[in-house]
Every structure is written in C-alpha cells, then in structure tokens.
Amino acid sequence: MSQALVLRPSAKVNLTLRVGPRREDGYHDVHTLMQSIGLSDVVTLTPRSGPFGLMSRSPGVPADRTNLIWRAAELLWRAMGRAGEPRDVHVKLEKQIPAAAGLGGGSADAAAALVGLNQVWGGRQSRRHLIDLAAQLGSDVPFFLHGGTALGLGRGEELYPVDDVARLGVVVIKPSFGVGTAEAYGWLDGDRAEGLAVTPARRQELEVGWAGGPIVLGNDLQAPVARRHPAIDEMVAACVSQGAMAAAMSGSGSAVYGVFAETTARRAAARLQRPDWLVLLTRTLTRREAARRLGL
C-alpha cells in the first residue's frame, strides 16, 4: 500500500454497566451493554520508509510508547513474526473523543491502529486474531473491532454482539474534570466496603426497538463517582430536564450522555450548553456503520 489510509474510530457509551467484586488479579467481572456512537477520532496511516512515527497536536495526548497506538503497533509487529521495532509507517492522530471520559477513545484508536497497520504492512491477520491481540491492550479494545451493540462479560473483553438498537440521538456532556478508570473502581470498592449504595435509586427504561422490550439503564460506577464529583448527577438531571428518554454516566466517567429522539436531540444540545461543559451532539451507530468507519 502506498497511499495514506484514513480511519475514523467511533466512541462508545455503556448503556448498562454492572460490576462484580474485585478479583484476585485486581480486575472486576462486569456485565455491560456497549453501544457505538458517531463521535469519532481520525487516525491517518501513511506508509513511508524509516522508523515508526506517531504524531498528535491534541493537548495531553502522548506520542510515544505510552500511547495505545504505539503499543498496538509493537504487538502487531511481533505477531507478524517481524524482528526489531515497528517501522515504515507514520500515524497521525486527531482527537475528537474527549479523554478520561469513559467513552473509550484511546481503546478505539488502538483498534483502528491494529486494523490499519495490518493493511499497511500487508499482513493477513484475521479479525479473530486482531480481536485476540486487542484483548491484550485493554478490556474494551475488542469491542471496537465489533462495534454496534454488544454485551461484554469477564473484564469486558468477552463479547456477544446483539441486534442493533434503533437510531437514536445522543447528547454527550464532558465536564472540565476527568476520571481515571482505576480511581472509579477504587471508589466503588471503598463505598461497597462501607455499605454505601451504588445502584441508582431511579429506574430508567429505554426503548431501543427490541422485540423483548426496553432495556434498563444503570451504571454501578456512577454513584461512587458522583459522591466525589456531584456535577455527574447535575449533568444527568440536566439531560432529563431537556427531554432525555434516559441519561447516565458512561463507563468510569466523567462524561454523561442523554438519549433522545433524533428530532429533539439538537435542540437539547443547544440548551445544555454551559461554559464548563463540553456538549457534543451525536447518534447511535449500527454495527455496519461502525465497522465501515474502522475500515472493516
């Protein structure tokens, strides 16, 4: 391949996230329903002779081995049986998915790197093999090689694709602060040890076009994070006040999303604007749409 390859990995939200006790290996078993949304980064891979390169002008984004894209490159290079360091490609990352938000931006970029580098380097790794490699990079990286709507078990890497949900509007709110994944899970463990409730008191049902009826939104990490950052509950309430059919924190936060009918989402996004909130308008994606953006 001689031309640049442009991929647009999509973010996700967790429609449900139930978290089990902390395991001996430090992880938690989860039961989560993940959903692709239209918010995406841009990953451009350009073949060129010389050492592997990674560049991003986005503030706070590392362009070294600490970035999951670089780690994905090293992992795939070795899986292809090649010696030394990865080379002969330059990757440009343009961030649009907020970091430390629970939207999976870094994981989505890593998945895009696996797909794109496999093509640029002329590899013949199957999607199944790429998914196995993705699981070594992070618990939710494999999801982005499926996309659409999927049930995640284990650490989240054990995936079961399910029927696409109906096309729905989504408004994402990212506050001025971020939340680390380890922080959120640590707060959950601490609150449980103290006997504090983690299950939301308000039951939220969301019709997604499934014959089996509505799904029940819920995130076990939301209450512990909101105890430390009350703005989480404020953002959820703001979405509901603007007509959201349901609203919740995504993943470990700090982003909150509201689900709307597409016809009302734009107006809600305009009304939710605040100086200390980044408000983003998007929608749900089907599995086919998410795969196409990732070059699959």
d(CA 93, CA 96): 10
User: Token pair 């709507």 is at which residue?
Assistant: 149
Which positions are catalytic? 12, 140
Residue 47: name the closest of 122, 111, 107 by CA.
Answer: 122
**CB-based contacts of 64, cutoff 8 Å, min separation 6:** 54, 70
Q: Across-strand partners of 258?
A: 171, 247
Q: Across-strand partners of 45?
A: 5, 91
Q: What sign has the CA pseudo-torsion 252, 13, 107, 8?
A: negative
d(CA 5, CA 96): 18
Beta carbons of 294 and 288 less than 8 angstroms apart: no
Instruction: Map residue 123 onto helix, strand or coil.
Output: coil
Residue 179: both structure tokens together: 């939340």
